[in-house]
Chain A
Amino acid sequence: MLKVSVDKINDLFRAIAATQKLYLPVDTNAGAQYREWSEGVTMSQALNTNRSAKDFFFPQTENLAEFKMEGKKIEVKPQVNEYEDYVVFGVRACDAASFAILDRVFLSEPVDTFYAHRREHGTIITLACNRPAETCFCTTFGVDPAVPGGDVSAWQKGEELYLEAQTEKGEKLLQAVAGALSQAESEDIEPVKAAIRVMMEKLPLAKLSLKGIEDQKMLDLFYSDKWNALSESCLGCGTCTFVCPTCQCYDVRDFDTGNGIQRFRCWDSCMYSDFTKMAHGNIRNSQMERFRQRFMHKLVYFPENNEGIYSCVGCGRCLAKCPIHMNIVKVIKTMGGTENE
């Protein structure tokens, strides 16, 4: 265990930024967002960023290849990126847990190399949640905000920030910036952890459980008539999918640069009407069907294929951001999720 005093935290940031890019949550007009740290940049005190940390590995748009077309000939030029090492500071436990879910998609064979490279080059420093929000329910998915994962975990206790490496990558980073840190005892942060756990238990969603959904059959849930009422007001805006740290659907598109064709991928949303539209029809014509797909995927299909792991980490973003106040918690409760005693 190492520590740095909060008023000297810039020494730590400076030491990290001396060798690689450092990103951390910063307050902007559009809420807290990850930004590159430079001298004078201060960290946001917001509980979490507006957009999730998935952007670091799976950016909203990225180029895949360029095509040079000449007469009947085509030349393929795969996108070559210079990947540099970088550090993300201040990732919360929920977002850190989302990486393991994204890994299951992008790192399974055949590996998505763009994602893999970004993942390899990034070192994640997480930050335990001293002030969880009413919309938080990460514990429902087995996330412990008192031990937030990542390559290095950090805890704030009074005027001190404690850091502990969780992986080899984290170990290396802490060694490299050892000059900015001093030794500390692991026991020092036990009270912080205990306090977080007490706070979590008092949150309104603390007792949310998926037991009642787990016990139902996939097809029974799918054909449930409850989806109609749940999806009735959904605008199909896709906000919930874009802010979600575990949503990973994408589109592949071409763009004429005037100098060739650029193929890129960008986020897409199963909430959009053209997501499954083909020349001769659409398998999901109504918003109910699209809405059902999003939640069935997170709560039933994904766990079915991934040893019971849900594709939700309880970050609460969709609770805070949906314009009609629909969200996964309402879905869980309506579909049979229970409040544990």
Chain B
Amino acid sequence: MNEIEPTFEAKLVERILKGDESAFAELVAQFHKRIYSIAYRMVGNVSEAEDLCQEIFLRLYQKLSQYDPNLPLTPWICRIASNTTINYLKRRGIKTMPLEIMVNLKEKERPIADEHATPEQAMIVENRDKKLQSAIMELPENYRLAFTLKYVENLTSEEISEIMNIPRNTIKTWLVRAREALRGKLINEL
């Protein structure tokens, strides 16, 4: 998660705050795949993931003046992503799509799979991803967020604890439970 140097990050933010729109496009380009992945893993479908992803970047833009340039940008962005996601899920509340509908979404509703060597391999990965995503959706939201942050951003339990503002031991417990539940669902793939 250290693709950009802190000084570069600070300069980028400074340019955005001065009204440089291309600087904001750079920031979006830098983070959007990871933010989108968090959003998709948390809501489980493309259209809501796109909504949530935009909402996170909007909040990011609005909060940018509060960013302390002496601190690394990524954890700060993760905190905004995490809070916006929690709020989004809270607001969405009961509108949660039933799992069967989510898993049987039509092709264009599924995210574009990452490039894989052969069509066969791509097929295997896609099927596995369907199973993984439906298993992720069965997790409680707090487990799901801790799990998603860990793997999308490659974070330690300490870092997740700071982002989610939850004690580290609780995060560790959530991560063990989440992964044991997922492993149970993916057992045929292992």
Q: Do A and B come from one complex?
A: no
